[in-house]
């Protein structure tokens, strides 16, 4: 099977990561590349690390240029994917890397994004386990529209789902996470200048206002079978890529406090997952070990004094957190091996 693939938003960080991975995908033939303000320029002006595609000219992002492909990735800002996707034929597999189709609750979308809800698509996190024991893989098989998770929700969901599925955790979660600057996109902003970021960490979106909060609550509620409240504090870290999420939740009354018994829920849940690794005891995740890989590294501890479970997860926000997760989900939708074209090994040092 040779798939003709288009990428909208090819000049951005997520678009560039999609193209890097697609170049190594044995079933992908890269077709039209589009952009908004960069339309008419060549790709090498924006993605010089992709010499195989250097001479490609970016086309306008519209249905006319995206038509005629088997698979279309939309790496666009929130609010931009909905109109484009609505104009594409229903038989084309469309994978939205933006936020437009992630949330099931239109009221939550309106509250956090301030615009009309574009609708809900199958959620592209194969490892998400439902309270009844089924996984999101069942939903993604054969799907023609896929909503890729946000990068923070990917890390937080993978960190906590085993504890909720096992009935260990109270439905009240505190998350503090740090992300590299690429998570904010490629647009020029003073707070993202190197001289502002280097040697400094800065919180933002504090007090429950970050747009990924309802998505985290949606995912964890899916696993828990009941509403879950998330208090989320994101932080900007002086690195280009990566997320480290520290997630805490109290153990339910009657749940074991023995670290081995608690940790077993994570080890057993992820034993067969190709992209999620529970690290050996005593070893903690590092963002550096996930760079360029479609992997999530997880470690679990129990604070017996406070009856809290502490889970730390690391991902590359551009790979597993965006482009890698998108291709992983597209593989499932197209009945291809889930791991096809996706790197397990990171870069070091």
Q: Which residues are catalytic?
A: 151
Which residues touch 254 (CB under 8 Å, ≥6 apart)?
Answer: none
Is 5 within 8 Å of 327 (Cβ atoms)?
no
Is 312 within 8 Å of 286 (Cβ atoms)?
no
Longest distance between any two alpha carbons in the chain, whole Å: 62
Q: Torsion angle, CA of 260/265/271/274, rounded to 10 degrees?
A: -120
Phi, psi of 203, rounded to the nearest 5 degrees = -75, 155
Q: How many CB atoms lie within 10 A of CB 133?
A: 7
Tell me how far apart the alpha carbons of residues 237 and 257 are, in angstroms, rounded to a whole number. Answer: 33
Nearest to 213 by CA among 184, 235, 237, 233: 233
Tell me how far apart the alpha carbons of residues 198 and 237 are, in angstroms, rounded to a whole number. Answer: 8
β-partners of residue 244 are 178, 314
């Amino acid at each position: 099977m040779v798939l003709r693939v288009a990428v909208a938003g090819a000049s951005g960080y997520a678009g560039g990561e999609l193209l890097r991975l697609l170049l190594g995908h044995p079933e992908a033939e890269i077709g039209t590349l589009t952009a908004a303000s960069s339309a008419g320029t060549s790709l090498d002006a924006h993605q010089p690390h992709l010499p195989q595609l250097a001479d490609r000219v970016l086309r306008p992002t519209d249905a006319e240029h995206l038509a005629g492909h088997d698979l279309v990735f939309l790496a666009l800002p929130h609010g931009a994917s909905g109109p484009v996707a609505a104009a594409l034929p229903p038989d084309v597999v469309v994978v939205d890397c933006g936020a437009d189709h992630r949330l099931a609750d239109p009221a939550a979308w309106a509250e956090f994004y301030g615009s009309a809800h574009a609708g809900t698509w199958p959620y592209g996190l194969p490892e998400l386990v439902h309270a009844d024991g089924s996984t999101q893989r069942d939903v993604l098989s054969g799907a023609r529209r896929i909503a890729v998770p946000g990068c923070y929700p990917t890390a937080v969901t993978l960190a906590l789902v085993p504890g909720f599925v096992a009935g260990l955790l109270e439905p009240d979660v505190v998350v503090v996470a740090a992300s590299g600057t690429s998570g904010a996109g490629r647009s020029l902003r003073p707070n993202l200048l190197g001289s502002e970021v280097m040697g400094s960490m800065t919180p933002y979106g504090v007090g429950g206002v970050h747009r990924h909060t309802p998505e985290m609550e949606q995912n964890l509620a899916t696993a828990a079978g009941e509403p879950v409240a998330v208090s989320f504090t994101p932080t900007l870290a002086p690195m280009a890529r990566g997320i480290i999420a520290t997630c805490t939740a109290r153990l339910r009354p009657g749940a074991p406090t023995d670290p081995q018994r608690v940790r077993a829920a994570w080890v057993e849940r992820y034993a067969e997952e190709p992209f999620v690794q529970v690290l050996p005891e005593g070893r903690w995740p590092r963002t550096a070990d996930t760079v360029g890989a479609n992997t999530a590294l997880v470690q679990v501890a129990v604070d017996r004094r406070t009856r809290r479970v502490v889970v730390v997860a690391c991902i590359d926000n551009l790979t597993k957190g965006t482009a890698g997760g998108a291709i992983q989900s597209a593989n499932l939708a197209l009945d291809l091996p889930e791991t096809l074209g996706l790197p397990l090994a990171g870069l070091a040092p």
